[in-house]
Structure 1
Amino acid sequence: MSVPRKTAAAILAALPLLATLSCGGPSTATEYEAAPPGTPSAAEAADLLDELRVAPEGSMDGYDRDEFPHWAKAEGRNCNVRERVLIREGTDVDTGRDCYPTSGEWNSWYDGGTWTDPSDLDIDHIVPLGEAWRSGASEWSTDKREDFANDLDGPQLVAVTDNVNQSKGDDPPEEWLPPDESVHCGYAAAWTGTKHNWELSVTTEEKKTLRDVLQGC
Structure 2
Amino acid sequence: MARIFRRRSSAASFYARRRVGILTALTGLLASAALINPPAASAALPTPVSAATARGYLASLTVAAENRTGYDRSLFPHWITISGSCNTRETVLKRDGSDVTTDSACAAKSGSWYSPYDGATWTAASDLDIDHVVPLAEAWDSGASKWTTAQRQAFANDLTRPQLIAVTDNVNQAKGDQDPATWVPSRSAYVCTYVRAWVQVKYYYGLSVDSAEKSALQGYLASC
Tell me which of 96, 100, 113 is aligned to 2:107. Answer: 100
Report the CA distance between 1:38 and its aligned residue.
4.2
TM-score of the superposed pair, with normalisation by structure 1: 0.81
Distance 2:92 2:115 in 1: 12
Distance 1:200 1:38 in 2: 20
SS at match of 2:82: coil
Distance 1:66 1:118 in 2: 23
- Residue in 2 that maps onto 1:212: 219
- Kept after mapping to 2: 8 A contact 1:71/1:150: yes
Larger Rg: 2
Tell me which of 75, 86, 110 is aligned to 2:93. Answer: 86
Distance 1:96 1:159 in 2: 19
Distance 2:138 2:157 in 1: 16
> Match of 1:87, as an amino acid?
K
> Match of 1:118, as an amino acid?
A
Return structure 1 stretches of 4+ with deviation > 4 angstroms. none
Report the CA distance between 1:134 and its aligned residue.
0.3
- Residue in 2 that maps onto 1:191: 198
- Residue in 2 that maps onto 1:50: 59
TM-score of the superposed pair, with normalisation by structure 2: 0.79
Higher relative contact order (CA 8 A, sep 6+): 1
- Residue in 1 that maps onto 2:79: 71
Report the CA distance between 1:36 and its aligned residue.
3.8
Q: Structure 2: which 5+ runs fail to align? A: 1-43
For the aligned residues, what is the CA RMSD?
1.1
Deviations 1:99-152 (A, max 9, x none): 111110000010001000001000000000010000000111111101100000
Tell me which of 64, 70, 76 is aligned to 1:62. Answer: 70
Distance 2:144 2:134 in 1: 11
State percent identity of aligned pairs. 53
- Residue in 2 that maps onto 1:9: none
- Kept after mapping to 1: 8 A contact 2:45/2:95: no
Distance 1:38 1:140 in 2: 26
SS at match of 1:74: strand
SS at match of 2:86: coil
> Match of 1:79, as an amino acid?
C
